[in-house]
Chain A
């Protein structure tokens, strides 16, 4: 839509997703209003669609007899619903949330920042990036970006980009949208020698137990018939993968 705005004093926005956008433009004392850029429009559209979905779900639950409380969820700010058993339920966290939401610019400020960053960089000549196959956490859910990558994107804003170094074989696969220069700045994935020190007995036994739980959960998931149980099993698998990853990191550090 074509609208003309006059200068508007910028409002302080304290929410998670929008403050990321505002931080991009300028600091809070800026009195000049500029129309949102294209990437920001995409973010706004994505946010709107998410809100639409939440409203629909909420309406459906209200009809089922859930009570609309006066409280908001601590994580996402959506209005909480309470069922007949007095259990509180947040439609956004339980139903809309998924692993993909880490990438969703409407939700995650880091993903939003990285998306905008990517567009900016896409206009620059892109150097080749070697992609190495993922070497650790074989059971992690495929395609899930690590939060360190997003941090890397954000930290890329701080200073000028260091020249793209040869990515070490130890760096993990990057999803396509990340700027290729970040693998070298990985604070965690240090290009350390692949030879890890001798595995600590407690760590390895912890790994065993977690792997075992993971296998059990996968089997249960295959046989489960209810949606609730499947959702819980998937989150169990996710947390097992997370713990495995942290264990591997402990190994290597």
Chain B
């Protein structure tokens, strides 16, 4: 009989599932909670140093030796191998945050870890987790109200958008590069933005070129295609051109019907060859006619962009007429081309009219090592643009690409929300203060849950200060005093460690990011707290 006074675990509490399947592995109550909290805190420790503009980067080395430098919480969590159910739950939360808003993944994981840690302080002293979860809910409602009060609704002019984009980009790449990308990103989104329609970020193409430095990244008001014309006689540079976008084959194609033909003489064979080609030649003739019709009296150029192939004979014929033809352009460029240059994408060469042509100011080809790029620029009013990312090596390119994507999302969110929120930890300090004031109006022991929530939110300014090298507690106290005295939203100034008014410094966060953050971390933390038993009743020796 086990001796209870020796403090041995009570082996006689059988859980129900063990009666059914003795091999089921069960972790009960406090042990389950301790395991879950430990998993969440492990993840939090990993991501802590990545937060904010002064956060460090993590270098991920794959098995093959590829290097990826990143700061994005979502990317890191997916590269780490996690089989533990709670930890993978948190990783999924980060994915959801990334899908919906594009930013705030690191903050999300940090807040969840901190919520659980604060809850643990109370649970280990005997408070039931359900009460804390209720407290979290009440605190979240109040925090959302504070968010509504704090948001600044203003006209999304270029200036504000630049601030929003810069805040987001500075947390991903270093400051000079962030400033450069900011302009490009904001201009890109403004270009594709059509009033009263949702912004479609597919219209911004991101093209990589591995040369020069990352500061040569630029926005092209037009398109960059990653291949060139295949005919040596075609012009490399055409100015003021008509653009024909089409999706019809100009290649010789096999018949789908097997047919046979007997010929008796060389003459008949010649006729056979000519007849095979007749089909294609008709089509090419149509294009040439159109070109002549349109360009006869002026020196405009003519460019044909075909999604399908063009065979060498047709290329030859077109080149003789001075037409530049590109074949096998990407499908996603079809839509973008019509948006950039105008015109309609043609599916067949019947009924070619001048109205289906687009315009481009400059079409030229650029060779880079072995690769050729075709630039279509100076379009009249492009509703589709390209961000040309240049960098010396692969990991820089990946870094900039990820950062640009996040920056685009941030600007898009700002435009769609119509409002922004002060950043740099200002929001968290304000919510903490409001929750402490609101605490007495919450009934019962849920007050402790509210207290835990408020303390957990403060991890953001603390970690921001810590990553910059300042003492977190001291900075936090300074922030709180400043907020109490002035009532203005003060955040952490990372270069000095002093409080600063976030709005004056131009540090703005997205409203939708904060909203999604509050909702998701409360839900996940409450769910994890209320986990009473972890059961794995299947094949318990399932090795991954």
A interface, CB within 8 angstroms of B: 3, 5-6, 8, 10-20, 23, 33, 35-36, 44, 47-48, 51-52, 54-56, 58-60, 62-63, 65-72, 77-79, 82, 86, 109-110, 112-113, 151, 154, 157-158
Contact = CB atoms under 8 A, between A and B. Distances in A.
B5 A51 contact: no
B42 A6 contact: no
Nearest to B45: A59
A113 B7 contact: yes
B85 A36 contact: no
Interface in B84-112: 84-85, 87
A154 B6 contact: yes
A68 B448 CA distance: 32
Nearest to A78: B38
A52 B113 CA distance: 12
B35 interface: yes
Contacts of B34: 15, 51, 77
A13 B30 contact: yes
Interface string B34-46: 1101110111111
Contact of A71 (B25, B87, B445): B25
Contacts of B544: 67, 69, 82
A63 B43 CA distance: 10
Given A8-B128, A15-B31, A79-B39, A70 B83 contact: yes
Interface string B508-544: 0000000000000000000000000000100000011
A59 B42 contact: yes
A152 to B, nearest CB: 12
A151 B6 contact: yes
Contact of B35 (A23, A56, A72): A72
A238 B334 CA distance: 74
B7 A12 contact: no
A143 B41 CA distance: 34
A28 to B, nearest CB: 9
A20 B30 contact: no
Given A14-B28, A15-B34, A110 B58 contact: no
Given A68-B81, A68-B84, A77-B31, A19 B10 contact: yes
A36 B45 CA distance: 29
Interface residues of B, number: 47
Contacts of B4: 23
Contacts of B121: 48
Q: Which of A13, A14, A19, A23 gathers most chain B CB within 10 Å?
A: A14
A48 B30 contact: no
Given A5-B127, A35-B125, 7 more contacts: A10-B126, A16-B9, A19-B7, A51-B34, A54-B38, A59-B44, A63-B46
Contact of B124 (A47, A56, A71, A154): A47
Interface string B14-50: 0000000000010111110011011101111110000
Given A12-B29, A59-B45, A69 B10 contact: no
B82 A67 contact: yes
Ranked 10 nearest A-B pairs via Cβ: A109-B7, A20-B7, A59-B45, A67-B81, A58-B42, A55-B41, A59-B46, A68-B84, A68-B82, A15-B31
B255 interface: no
A60 B45 CA distance: 8
Nearest to A6: B445
23 contacts: A6-B445, A8-B126, A11-B128, A12-B29, A13-B29, A14-B13, A14-B29, A14-B31, A23-B4, A23-B5, A48-B124, A51-B41, A55-B38, A58-B42, A62-B42, A65-B81, A68-B80, A69-B544, A71-B25, A78-B38, A79-B84, A86-B543, A154-B6
A56 B44 CA distance: 9
B10 A14 contact: yes
A8 B123 CA distance: 12
Contact of A16 (B7, B127, B444): B7
A154 B7 CA distance: 9
Nearest to B124: A44
A113 B125 CA distance: 18
A240 B5 CA distance: 31
Given A5-B445, A44-B125, A154 B5 contact: yes
Contact of B27 (A6, A18, A77, A154): A77
Interface centre among A3, A8, A11, A70 (most CB of B within 10 A): A70
Contacts of B536: 70
B304 to A, nearest CB: 51
